[in-house]
């Protein structure tokens, strides 16, 4: 039997050293994906590098520039952060949707991104909020936009020895808000069959000046949908423009048939969720406008 090591680095540099020294090592954050994969024989790491004893990976900081979210911070901790929920309600919703209360106690946004499932709940919400991944490695730190982080199901841009340490999200402009919705057959505990996030910025007159739309579980990676964004920008986010955005999202979807849903179903629902998420984001942005 191959012995598996358990390591608890106390700093990012120590973690990077451990990861660089052993290509078979895997980062252990919440373990809600990794330990299941280990248990079912999908992954057989030579070492678990538990990064949860590194303080900066377990922290939430919000300042004038925005949010810096430690990659291993458990979802439940994020959900309890009132300021984060106020500034990015859609992002907070997407985090809250990861698994059960128990999973929330372990699972992290960093883990959600590194698992690189096209159905990951946080990815779309991060993309529409212009989030970046802060990556540490043997050659120092680099940043990658979230939409470029995953390159295929289960694969990311992380190179050997590299580690996702934080997610940075710029502070939203005035009259900006977001929303994330997913479709699951039950009310909880399922993987998204389709998901959609939207972030919109309104001007003082209520016209949409900027919009970002992303859809999940309908392609090998989460997709930004520029055509849907264009359908929203310049509009009052009325039914007609929302419908155009929905159609654009459905058109952009490139889903597969699998045990969780059919191609046709995912395509349709990606549109429905895009319309609904954009409407919620718009309502939230208007609410901000009325209560500055």
Binding site for another protein (CB under 8 A): 1, 3-6, 8, 28, 30-32, 35-36, 38-40, 48, 50, 52, 74, 76, 99-106, 183, 185-191, 193, 259-262, 264-265, 268-269, 272
| Region at 288 (left for phi over 0; alpha for psi -120 to 50; beta for the rest) | alpha
- Tokens 């349709």 — which residue? 268
Q: How far is the CB of 100 from another protein (least distance, A)?
A: 2
Q: How far is the CB of 31 from another protein (least distance, A)?
A: 5
Q: How far is the CB of 82 from another protein (least distance, A)?
A: 14
| Closer Cβ to another protein, 56 or 190, answer by number | 190
Rounded Cα distance, 288 and 30, in Å: 34
**Maximum distance among all Cα pairs of the chain, rounded to whole angstroms:** 68
| Closer Cβ to another protein, 151 or 189, answer by number | 189
Q: How far is the CB of 101 from another protein (least distance, A)?
A: 5
Distances (CA, A) of 149 to 121, 130, 134, 258: 15, 12, 10, 24
| Closer Cβ to another protein, 134 or 191, answer by number | 191
| Residue 176: both structure tokens together | 């900006």
Q: How far is the CB of 262 from another protein (least distance, A)?
A: 5
Q: How far is the CB of 7 from another protein (least distance, A)?
A: 9
| Residue 136: both structure tokens together | 């540490």
Rounded Cα distance, 106 and 92, in Å: 16
Q: Are 180 and 197 in contact (CB under 8 A)?
A: yes
| Closer Cβ to another protein, 111 or 172, answer by number | 111
Sheet holding 47-50, edge to edge: 5-7, 47-50, 25-28
| Closer Cβ to another protein, 52 or 284, answer by number | 52
| Closer Cβ to another protein, 76 or 233, answer by number | 76
| Residue 286: both structure tokens together | 């208007």
For Cα atoms 256, 91, 166, give the angle at the middle one, nearest 5 degrees.
95
């Amino acid at each position: 039997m191959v012995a598996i090591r358990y390591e608890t680095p106390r700093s990012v540099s120590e973690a990077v050293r451990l990861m660089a020294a052993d290509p078979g090592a895997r980062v252990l954050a919440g373990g809600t994906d990794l330990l299941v994969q280990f248990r079912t024989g999908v992954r057989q790491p030579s070492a678990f590098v538990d990064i949860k004893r590194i303080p900066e990976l377990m922290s939430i900081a919000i300042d004038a520039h925005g949010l810096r979210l430690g990659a291993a911070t458990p979802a439940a901790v994020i959900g309890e952060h009132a300021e984060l929920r106020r500034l990015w309600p859609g992002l907070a919703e997407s985090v809250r949707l990861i698994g059960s209360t128990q999973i929330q106690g372990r699972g992290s946004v960093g883990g959600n991104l590194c698992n690189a499932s096209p159905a990951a709940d946080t990815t779309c919400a991060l993309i529409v909020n212009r989030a970046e991944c802060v990556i540490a490695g043997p050659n120092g730190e680099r940043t990658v936009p979230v939409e470029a982080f995953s390159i295929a199901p289960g694969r990311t841009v992380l190179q050997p020895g590299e580690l996702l340490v934080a997610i940075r999200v710029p502070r939203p402009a005035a009259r900006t808000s977001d929303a994330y919705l997913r479709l699951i057959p039950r009310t909880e505990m399922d993987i998204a069959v389709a998901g959609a996030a939207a972030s919109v910025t309104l001007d003082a007159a209520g016209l949409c000046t900027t919009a970002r739309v992303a859809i999940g579980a309908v392609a090998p990676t989460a997709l930004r949908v520029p055509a849907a964004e264009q359908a929203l920008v310049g509009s009052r986010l009325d039914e007609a423009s929302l419908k155009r955005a929905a159609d654009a999202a459905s058109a952009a979807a490139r889903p597969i048939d699998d045990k969780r849903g059919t191609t046709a179903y995912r395509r349709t629902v990606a549109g429905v969720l895009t319309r609904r998420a954009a409407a919620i984001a718009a309502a939230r942005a208007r609410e901000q406008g009325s209560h500055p």
